[in-house]
Amino acid sequence: MEQYIIKGGNPLVGEVEIGGAKNAALAILAAAIMTDETVFIDNLPDVNDINVLLDAIAGIGASVHRVDRHAVKINGKGVSDFNIEYDYMKKIRASYYLLGALLGKYKRAEVALPGGCNIGSRPIDQHLKGFRALGADVEIEHGKIIAEADRLVGKHIYFDVVSVGATINVMMAAAMAEGLTILENVAKEPHVVDVANFLNSMGANIRGAGTDVIKIRGVHRLHRTEYSVIPDQIEAGTFMFAAAATRGDVTVCNVIPKHLEATIAKLLEIGCEVEEFDDAVRVVSKGRLTSTHVKTLPYPGFPTDMQPQIGVTLALCEGTSMVTESIFENRFKYLDELARMGANVKIEGNSATIEGVKGFSGARVSAPDLRAGAALCIAGLAADGITIVDDIVYIQRGYERFEEKLKSLGGIIERVQSEKDIRKFTLKVS
Ligand code: EPZ
């Protein structure tokens, strides 16, 4: 099992290039099978989740041609199997986007029902509500969602909770339904807009993505396109908080600063200097930072995917911070690990009270999930001494060349897989 070993104490300094948004790319790749023509997609992050989804897409008969690490050509003409197995769903929940894509194009899909996961129970009732409203017969049998329709017909659908996944999944199916679909109380995340833009570039007629109401006039067919995925706001934010926590000076390049507003606001509140450019943001952290409160909310609120990164940073800020997680119930596991590094935290329900400490001391910790894993690496980079992060397979699901990018900023971090590697690293840095 691979681990990261980190020698903390070096401020991160320099420029880092941000890749394409994983969560936009996952939905876009699924939507690519909705045409019989070839679709070219660029600026994909080269991370495990993307590779698993590409395997699932090839597995149902689509042709998948990897042009290079960040680009792929997909042709959905050969799709002959409408069944996505549990193995894929277990590895990557976003395989459920194939439900909306297959149902939209072929009016039929069978996809293993995703279970809960490390960050919470994660129901998909709103996805199913949307498909049913469009006229699909949706049953759950033997652990599978089986969705079928003679025809899908546009409807007025009100989502009971704001869900990124349900918004995108139902939007995909409605793109090829008959007539007008109106989706209300939808998610406004930048990746929802990106998927709508992608579908429109294939000939779909989707308006309003990025607002509370999306209107979709169904079309009979979609066609070829060439598309570049938007930059990953969460990868960018992760490096911005890494700069803050290590008292560094980092410029994240190839970003859309507008997507980073909530992150920038919190960095300013705790006392960082932030400079915005057209497609870059510089974060400078000098001296001791001060506490603040944060509550995760759907976009444009503070993202749940950035909660562990800000939590780690606040644990080093002077004063008492309150972090409230309102999206997923199980996203505080990293705080127990952080306490082992000296953080002073108390969790009650969906809130954590964090009393800032002067510093962390390196320890062996475990990544409970993707974002929490990245946050623990930030803690290790800010800590005194050596930190070992276990279960980094979670981090590799969503961060491309994570340790290489941190190293390019002066972080001392290696990916290791044996006690021998750990001894070698320890000798080298001591
Ligand atoms: C997406 O998950 C992201 N994943 C998550 O990123 C992210 O944390 C989340 O949105 C919130 O921003 C992908 O895009 C692949 P939701 P998703 O549906 O779509 C409840 C990461 O680290 N809900 O917006 O599954 C749900 O329980 C990952 O990259 C229902 O009740 O999230 C949650 O409380 C982790 N019924 C809230 O809505 C439903 O049918 C928001 O979930 C659907 C959701």
**3-state secondary structure (DSSP) of residue 322:** strand
How far is 385 from 318, CA to CA, in rounded Å? 21
Question: Is the beta carbon of 116 within 6 A of some atom in ligand 1?
Answer: no
Instruction: Compute the average pLDDT of residues 189-207.
Output: 98
Q: How far apart are the first and last CA of the chain?
A: 24
CA nearest ligand 1 atom 25, residue: 165
pLDDT digits (tens, 9 = 90+) for 169-194: 999 999 999 999 999 999 999 999 99
Is pLDDT at 350 greater than 90 in this prediction? yes
In terms of residues, how long is the chain?
430
Ligand 1 centroid to Cα of residue 327, in Å, is 8
Measuring CA to CA, which residue among 283, 224, 292, 233 is closest to residue 258? 233
What's the average model confidence in pLDDT over 396-415? Answer: 97
| Choice among 22-31, 86-95, 277-286, 309-318 with the minimum mean pLDDT | 86-95
Q: What's 209's DSSP letter? A: B
Q: How confident is the model at residue 118 (pLDDT cuts 50, 70, 90)?
A: confident
Residue nearest to atom 13 of ligand 1 (CA): 23
Q: Report residue 116's pLDDT band, with 50, 70 and 90 as the boundaries.
A: low
From residue 259, alpha-carbon distances to 117, 143, 268 in Å are: 27, 37, 16
Cβ partners under 8 Å of residue 68, min gap 6: none
Residue 341 is predicted with a pLDDT of 98
pLDDT at 88 over 90: no
Asked if 373 contacts 390 with a C-beta cutoff of 8 angstroms, the reply is no
| 47 pLDDT higher than 80 | yes
Q: Which of 9-23, 88-102, 232-246, 386-400 has the lowest mean pLDDT?
A: 88-102
Distance 328 CA to ligand 1 centre (A): 8
Q: Which residue has the higher pLDDT, 87 or 46?
A: 46
- CB-ligand 1 contact for 304 (6 Å cutoff): yes
Is the peptide bond preceding residue 300 cis, with omega within 30 degrees of 0? Answer: yes
DSSP collapsed to 3 states, 168-194: HHHHHHHHCCECEEEEECCCCCHHHHH
φ, ψ of residue 18 in degrees (nearest 5): -95, 140
Identify the pLDDT of residue 174.
98
Buried b (16+ CB within 10 A) or exposed e, 14-38: eebbbbbbbbbbbbbbbbbbbbeeb
Q: Measured between alpha carbons, how far is 341 from 364 in angstroms, rounded to an integer?
A: 8
User: Is the CB of 161 within 6 Å of ligand 1?
Assistant: yes
Residue with tokens 């109401």: 213
pLDDT digits (tens, 9 = 90+) for 281-340: 999 999 889 999 999 999 999 999 999 999 999 999 999 999 999 999 899 999 999 999
Residue indicated by tokens 């439900």: 99
Instruction: Report the pLDDT value the prediction gives residue 115, as an integer from 0 to 100.
Output: 66
Residue 85 pLDDT more than 90? no
Instruction: Determine whether the shortest distance from the Cβ of 25 to ligand 1 is under 6 A.
Output: no
Distance of CA 297 from the midpoint of ligand 1 (Å): 11
Each residue's pLDDT tens digit, 220-257: 999 999 999 999 999 999 999 999 999 999 999 999 99
pTM higher than 0.85? yes
Residue ranges in 32-92 assigned as alpha helix (H): 48-59, 86-91
